[in-house]
Chains A and B, each alone.
Chain A
Amino acid sequence: MAIEGHTSRAYDGELSSLHVQVVEMGGLLLLQVREAANAYTEWDPGLARRVVERERLLNGYHRDVDARSLALIARRQPVASDLRAVVALSRVVAELERAGDEARKIAQAVLGRAGGSASRPGFATARDARHLARLAVNMVRLSLDALDRLDGPLAREVIALDRELDEEYASGLRRLMTRAMEDVRVFGGAMEAAFVLKSLERIGDHARNVARLMLSLGRDAAGAPPGEGQPAADASPR
């Protein structure tokens, strides 16, 4: 699908600038996820602090895109693919914002949650977290590429990748629990690590949701209502 091509160039400009802003927000999220994971696996409180501080920028993008989407709906009354694009972009920013929340939670695990102390992951846990982070970051990156280029096939690839992340999360969690049961002294740290792994898995889910929303921009995405059969073969969209 294309965002541009309207007779009104101003309308084209408003839609594409909304799209660009969402892609920019995605770039910031990618940085957040990458640095939050690094801060945890390499145990870097300085980096974690920067991630927590930057989160308000993500929230700012969310508010801004929402306000601009509302204004665009009010002023332009978009329909068909334009309407789907505006609604989808609005949902994409909500997904990006929630993924940003997960990145902040990972960073806060390094800084220590309120009332508790932080526990650095052991070698094996850090290795599992690093592996999950690689998969999650890759999914975020590809979903943003798909969003940037409005690339349907790439979006489908991202959706397929989510299963691998889910499986890796399940086995990482199993290994973590085994270690915790073997040595109860690491139980507190293992709980923290489980939350971090869960956050990485959730980030993958948000990337998958972004990819799904991307696909909803395509023609016939909403499906045709019953009783509106396509007549002849030559009646395909002209």
Chain B
Amino acid sequence: MNDTPSAPPAAGPATAIDAKSLPMPEGIRTVGSVTTADPLFSCRSVDVFYGQKQAIKNLNIDIGRKQVLAMIGPSGCGKSTFLRCLNRMNDTIVGARVEGQIHLDGRDIHDRKQDVVQLRARVGMVFQKPNPFPKSIYENVAYGPRIHGLAGDRAELDDIVSTSLRRAGLWDEVKDRLQQPGTSLSGGQQQRLCIARTIAVNPEVILMDEPCSALDPIATARIEDLIDELRQSYAICIVTHSMQQAARVSQRTAYFHLGELIEVGETDRIFTNPRAKLTEDYITGRFG
């Protein structure tokens, strides 16, 4: 990764601010520390509406570099909606409206000058179901760097592909069949291919929406191991329904309930001594 060209900066002189963490509004109901050292994302008073329905209510959180933030909560609590706010995937949903401030490294991601394609290169995403393109393994990884102009020539592109596949822990398994279709791989391999495809464009953040829910325990363990390695370089936000997975992979955990961020804190504390009763009831399986 280090030998690949770095991603170009976000388009235009978007509204940069001095502090990376935005000022905190009054009357926050979230329990725990919503701020973190060295924040990359800073979100304040975020509301999300799908038509009339409010999916996220007054959400405030900072997301730190080189750490894994796990978002947990019952279905429909807004955790995936929030994840999709971070790379403006909600823009693609008709009737979806995002209010409030979301700053990435001091710049407003909703700024008019913000190029959404560039934003999504900086904030990559891995989905629940592995979704490789119907192309070769090589092309799956090479596609992003090519459209973003990250490689000057074929040798450089080869280098990005092999580095990304190595970082995704897939190289040894696919190095002799790079021209075979990505869909010929097993589910776990396909998911790692999608992770390789994401990191090939040199992102700063990787969003993961239930990345292991379609995988067996061994493939899950490999992805979790990979997440732990990737956090040395990236900020990772993972939505998961598996509390054990959140406990295993993350340094911070955020608990959502009915569109509100109820509690956020160090994962060790959340899983041994949550402060909010709603969090305690959910993680101990007392949720009615």
Contact = CB atoms under 8 A, between A and B. Distances in A.
Interface of A: 5-8, 11, 77-84, 219-222, 224-225, 227-232, 234-238
Contacts of A219: 273, 275, 280
Given A224-B275, A228-B32, A231-B28, A79 B266 contact: no
B272 A84 contact: yes
B285 A7 contact: yes
Contacts of B285: 6-8, 11
Given A80-B274, A225-B266, 10 more contacts: A6-B284, A11-B285, A78-B284, A79-B271, A79-B283, A80-B271, A80-B280, A220-B275, A231-B30, A235-B30
Contacts of B262: 238
A234 B244 contact: no
Nearest to A227: B33
6 contacts: A80-B279, A80-B284, A82-B284, A222-B272, A228-B266, A231-B31
B39 interface: no
B273 A230 contact: no
Contacts of A231: 28, 30-31, 34
Contacts of B284: 6, 78-82
B53 interface: no
Interface residues of B, number: 33
A150 to B, nearest CB: 15
B287 A7 contact: yes
Interface in B255-277: 262, 265-266, 268-269, 271-277
A5 B284 CA distance: 9
B77 interface: no
A5 B276 CA distance: 16
B286 interface: yes
B278 interface: yes
B112 interface: no
B272 to A, nearest CB: 6
A235 B261 CA distance: 11
A222 B269 CA distance: 9
Interface in B232-259: 243-244, 247
